[in-house]
Amino acid sequence: MANFEDVAKEFVGFYYNTFDSDRSQLTALYRDTSMLTFESSATQGAAAIGEKLANLSFTNVKHVVTTLDAQPSVNNGIVVLVTGQLQTEGEERPMNYTQVFQLLPEGETYYVHNDVFKLIYG
Amino acid sequence: MANFEDVAKEFVGFYYNTFDSDRSQLTALYRDTSMLTFESSATQGAAAIGEKLANLSFTNVKHVVTTLDAQPSVNNGIVVLVTGQLQTEGEERPMNYTQVFQLLPEGETYYVHNDVFKLIYG
């Protein structure tokens, strides 16, 4: 199995590229047990998470990753903490955000078991 | 077992109170398999983590939690994402930070399996 830091970097790159180009495809990264907490609103299950992401108010969005830290975790999982900036259409200034992913292995790949996203103000 | 959100809130309150009053006591919250990544510097094991925390440059420090989001996770664990402000002695302005904990149950309590701390600039 690949090094956890390489997996984390590859995952994060793929995740935000997909989010910023066609976020309906993110559904495939979640499973029925997965949880997303987006701005303190919690959703469980791939279908519900996909719907939640699809219905976010912004259309055009761009994530820029500032920092990425990864650790090996339970059941050969990986915890990834990202900080970055989010630029949405109509907003002049990018917003700071933080996001944590708990990835779990599934065959040769990983899925997102936990996902918490939070904007940072001030 | 208590509700994961209550556990997360109680843990976070205890963690920062202890950090800000006598952070040498934080060692008891970690185990040999635990990992701390503090400002992208990684440490494994309770003893090494305790030493790392004790040797941080600041003496007087105060954490103020702005947001806390928790999710149930693998093996009855809990993922907690905190954002907050850190005030250190000699710094006029508090710094924004984010921190994620992966807590795992041990008997009637929890220990910290994963801990990633990151300051947020800009």
> CA B114, CA B22: separation in Å to the nearest integer?
21
Decide if A118 and B96 are in contact by the 8 Å CB cutoff: no
Maximum alpha-carbon separation in chain A:
43
Q: What is the pLDDT of residue B1?
A: 52
Host H or E run for residue B29: none
- B-chain CB neighbours of A83 within 8 Å are 98, 118, 120
Mean pLDDT of A91-98: 93
Q: Mark out chain B residues that contact chain A at CB-CB < 8 A.
A: 35, 37, 40, 42, 66-67, 69, 71-75, 77, 79, 81, 83, 85, 96, 98, 100, 102, 104, 113-114, 116, 118, 120-122
Q: How would you classify the pairing of strands A95-106 and B95-106?
A: unpaired
Complex prediction ipTM: 0.96
Contact, A119 vs A96, CB < 8 A? yes
Under the banding of pLDDT at 50, 70 and 90, the label for residue A82 is very high
Q: How far is CA A24 from CA A27, A103, A111, B31, B100, in A?
A: 6, 19, 16, 40, 27
Decide if B81 and A120 are in contact by the 8 Å CB cutoff: no
Query: pLDDT tens for residues A9-34?
Result: 999 999 999 999 999 999 999 999 99
Provide the residue ranges of all domains of chain A, joining segments of one domain with +.
4-120
CATH class of A4-120: alpha beta
Give pLDDT tens digits along chain B (122 positions). Answer: 579 999 999 999 999 999 999 999 999 999 999 999 999 999 999 999 999 999 998 889 999 999 999 999 999 999 999 999 999 988 889 999 999 999 999 999 999 999 999 999 97
What is residue A90's three-state secondary structure?
coil
For residue A71, which of B4, B68, B44, B119 has the smallest C-alpha distance? B44
Decide if A83 and B118 are in contact by the 8 Å CB cutoff: yes
